[in-house]
Structure 1
Amino acid sequence: MTMTESRAAAETVPAARRTGRWIDDWRPEEPEFWESTGRRVARRNLVWSIFAEHLGFSVWLIWSVSSAFLVSMGFSYSPQQLFLLVALPNLVGSLLRLPYTFAVPRFGGRNWTMASAALLLIPTLGFAVAVQNPGTPYWLFCLIAATAGLGGGNFASSMANINFFYPSDKKGAALGLNAAGGNLGVALIQLFLPVIIGGAGIFGLVKAAEGGISLERAAYVYAGLAVAATLAAYFFMDNLTSAQSRPREQLAVVKEKQTWVMAFLYIGTFGSFIGYSAAMPLLIKLNFWVPDPAPLGTGIYFAYFAFLGALVGSATRPFGGWLADKYGGARVTLGAFAGMIVSTLAVLWTLTQLTPNPGQSPAIADDNQSWFPWFLAFFLCVFASTGIGNGSTYKMIPAIFRTQAERATTPGTPERGAALHAGTKKASAAIGVIGAVGAVGGFLIPIAFSSPWVDQPMEATKGAFVVFTAFYVVCAVVTWAVFLRKPAPAKAATSLANAGI
């Protein structure tokens, strides 16, 4: 962006300063401004945004592990009921992502980070009260699990906010780091929750508490962290005046065809990541482990391995953003879907080697555990592919709207600067829409695994993986057809295939 374009973008926003930490002059595309001021401020906001988003993801997925411990605490729930408890936060979290995105331009990124972090006290304290009473009805557990979706909404607002802070050539890496820090919350809640509650965790290095499992401990820990995140946002984050826009301006992105194409692809990448992360503890528990003899049972103890998938998916997300910055988001996304197709078929193959264990027999669990290394290795490849795809798709979103703005205006003009600034606003709004639609996959995957209309849980799981594989094939075809296929000469001037997206 030239100096003229940067100044034009800055002049499109009001200059009045209000109370609180508001920044009126923000020109990240201008190299001098970025080096002298922008980089330091953006990095500080990114760090605390990651912390708040990380906490949100942890609360969002707190039921993914805790549901597997409910039976041992005296709650008699079927596998279908447990999968529903795992799925409900994902459904609510996906629905909240749209209003959370719109809240950033309305209230300011710092202000909304404070509010969204404080809202996490609702699911954490509600969780703490419910699990201490064996008489808590199932419907109340469902209601409390649904409120955990408040943590899922944090992702959209955090990503929309950070998108405003960074220049276009650094958005892929910045958004990848921000998202990875949040996604890592899934892995850490699955790793440390068994330790915090007094179960056995970290490959048995921590012994189970003699007094039994206390799930409420984890809830109190995360309630305290929610308070810490609220205070951190208050003291260390900023609002950008240039990020302000009206709801009507933001909703305009739903008319863009590219918004819905990217939302569809994001179901395949992020929907798979969050859905598999939520379901993996129960999948291991139901197919490779039985609780007898106590305390660690027979077979593969799910708490030792449940976190690995989310950890791998989180770690590869910034790598996907980096690859997209270097080679183009569409190429990397297509490669990610290819990896997901092959890896999912490999997971399906391992499941065909298992003996169904509806009666929870120790003998069958002992036999099945010989296949667990293959199951885990292939599943981790699925997670790695979803992480790379998550990073590359989020690189594509701002690139699409920037390309549209560049093609509609002349370089070096005030119109170009205004169009690029409007494109950034569109990209941030699109992040919310795309994130909301994509996260629905996190609800559908656990529901598909539970499939109450299928008599055998193993058959439901196999059928689900067949459907997922077919969906990934469709996603790969769409990625190629929309973004990578060489256009006809008459359409070459307007095609996004040559835009480096």
Structure 2
Amino acid sequence: MTAPARPRKHYITDWDPEDREAWDNGNSRIANRNLIWSVICEHIGFSIWSLFSVMALFMGPEYGINADQKFVIAATATFVGACLRIPYTQATARFGGRNWAIFSAVVLLIPTGLTLMLMMNPGDFGYGWFLGVAALTGFGGGNFASSMTNINAFYPQRLKGWALGLNAGGGNIGVPVVQLLSLLIIWLSSDHPEILCAVYLVALAVAGVGAALYMDNLDHQTSSAKAMVDCLKHYDSWLISLLYVGTFGSFIGFSFAFSQVLSLSFKSSGQTATAAALSAAQIAWIGPLLGSVFRPIGGKLADRFGGGRVTFYCFIGMVASSVLLVVSGIAADGHPKHKIENAQLTGFIVGFILLFLISGIANGSVYKIIPTIFEQKARQNVGLNAHGKITWSRSMSGALIGIAGAIGALGGVAINLVLRSSYKTHQSATAAFWVFLGFYVVAGVITWWFYARREVVLDDGYSAPVDTSMSSQAHA
């Protein structure tokens, strides 16, 4: 009689992803299993974080929430999610990647259940309730930082761009999925938005159980408050965070605001409020889906061509997309009462979708820069032994992933507030489009100067900057 199988332990010691023999003989399967459930947990977290971006389409006059307040609700959720990314980054080191994935899924049952309550009782709860519950959905935004920090520790340098891009893209795709589900519910039963919340209550339970069964804790998770402070001493941390405002900040900000902008635009074109909401729901999911799908591609391209170079070309594309928005906005503003005709409406839709797609690629490529920069610094530090270099590089990379994720998400807050101010002051979004255009120009210049013209290339032996311009000036 065979002895019963002993339960699998979920704590791994002495994990070295750079050991190719161990990687080929089983470590890759362990890393991929953790990646799969990390993606699932982060995916559902993103869906909960963006829950009110779709609930806004269900919130008719009976809820007592106007368009201006809807932008503030979205900004509140984005802001809380951004702030939580700092402590969530440290949580994997303190509690373990598996343990924190379980917690981060279970805790989201609270805002999801409260959202269900609000949507089932239109008019019974005021604006303050919606702000409070939207803030709680921000816990879903924190999932990104802990998930990315955890996966960064599982994978070797040569695969980090792909792994981090896939993890982030799989999480980001939670935004279009919740929007598609909302469209299905509007089509089937527009008076019952609580159905969407019920679906996610079940999904959260599945994610929590799956993380408990299939994920692992690593003993060398090194992200900490001290690492974050030390990380900020390097100018690259601030520059990369700024670039991430333009990439992920654009993705999450537009994800929260796109349906609102579309709804207002369709109303300005002559549709009724109900028809405008349905038209917006039919289109709003396309941009976030493309941005999510193309994020791993950005990581893969960065693995091959370098994160700086790919990010630079992305910002050029985002500048061109913003020009399309500005031109369409100026044309619409020239009409009586800012009436939007089909040509301008098409310009808005195409411009936003291009921004989603390109920002998705840039999300993946920026995150490739992070481990590359700190791996290079570690290899050049003669005061550290081999183990110390590995530990320091992982610690700094994990810390910056959290910091950049938090600051980048604040860009999403800014997008919602800039759009709100533009509509409130000018009754159109054209002024906001000018702001976006100016920022992307600045981000593109910074990317070229610091990361694209002298791309850092790492191999198994050493790192060296490769000059991609005619300049022979040393990279500062």
Q: TM-score, normalised by structure 2?
A: 0.90
- Between the aligned partners of 2:279 and 2:75, the Cα distance in structure 1 is 22
Q: Tell me whether 1:108 sits opposite 2:96 in the alignment.
A: yes
Q: Tell me whether 1:434 sits opposite 2:423 in the alignment.
A: no
Correspondence for 2:195: 217
Q: Which runs of 4+ in 1 moved over 6 A?
A: 290-295, 356-360
Aligned ranges 1:67-86 → 2 under 5 Å: 67-71=56-60, 74-86=62-74
Structure 2 residue identity aligned to 1:431: I
- Identical-residue share of aligned pairs (%): 38
Maintained 8 Å contact 1:355/1:368: no
Aligned-pair distance for 1:484? 3.3
114-123 or 161-170: which moved more? Answer: 114-123
Correspondence for 1:407: 380
Secondary structure in structure 2 of the residue aligned to 1:25:
coil
Maintained 8 Å contact 2:223/2:398: no
Q: C-alpha deviations, 1:9-46, integer Å up to 9, x for none? A: xxxxxxxxxx9510012111011011002100000000
- Between the aligned partners of 2:303 and 2:126, the Cα distance in structure 1 is 50
Secondary structure in structure 2 of the residue aligned to 1:255:
coil
Q: C-alpha deviations, 1:214-265, integer Å up to 9, x for none? A: 1211112111211111111000000000114553234321222211111011
Distance change (3 Å), C-alpha of 1:264 and 1:455: closer
Maintained 8 Å contact 2:148/2:167: yes
Secondary structure in structure 2 of the residue aligned to 1:498:
strand
Q: C-alpha deviations, 1:302-322, integer Å up to 9, x for none? A: 110010110111111111101
Aligned-pair distance for 1:409? 3.6
Correspondence for 1:457: 427
Q: Tell me whether 1:380 sits opposite 2:368 in the alignment.
A: no
2:364 to 379, 391, 408: 391
Correspondence for 2:20: 31
Correspondence for 1:349: 327
Aligned ranges 1:40-119 → 2 under 5 Å: 40-71=29-60, 74-119=62-107
The number of equivalent residue pairs is 455
- Between the aligned partners of 1:291 and 1:77, the Cα distance in structure 2 is 22
Maintained 8 Å contact 1:68/1:82: no
Q: Tell me whether 1:472 sits opposite 2:440 in the alignment.
A: yes
Aligned-pair distance for 1:425? 1.8
Structure 1 unmatched ranges of 5 or more: 1-18, 201-207, 488-493
Q: Tell me whether 1:183 sits opposite 2:151 in the alignment.
A: no
Structure 1 residue identity aligned to 2:352: F
Aligned-pair distance for 1:282? 0.5
Maintained 8 Å contact 2:223/2:396: no
Q: TM-score, normalised by structure 1?
A: 0.85
Structure 1 residue identity aligned to 2:319: I
231-240 or 248-257: which moved more? Answer: 248-257
- Between the aligned partners of 2:166 and 2:149, the Cα distance in structure 1 is 14
Correspondence for 2:413: 443
Aligned-pair distance for 1:466? 0.4
Aligned-pair distance for 1:358? 11
Distance change (3 Å), C-alpha of 1:452 and 1:463: closer
Maintained 8 Å contact 1:173/1:322: yes
Q: Tell me whether 1:138 sits opposite 2:106 in the alignment.
A: no
- Between the aligned partners of 1:229 and 1:299, the Cα distance in structure 2 is 31
Aligned ranges 1:260-271 → 2 under 5 Å: 260-271=238-249
1:242 to 207, 220, 224: 220
Correspondence for 1:148: 137
Aligned-pair distance for 1:426? 1.3
Maintained 8 Å contact 2:84/2:139: yes
Maintained 8 Å contact 2:312/2:452: no
Correspondence for 2:293: 315
Aligned-pair distance for 1:370? 4.7
Distance change (3 Å), C-alpha of 1:434 and 1:136: same
CA RMSD of aligned residues (A): 2.7
Structure 2 residue identity aligned to 1:442: G
Structure 2 residue identity aligned to 1:288: F
2:310 to 328, 332, 339: 332
Aligned-pair distance for 1:455? 3.2
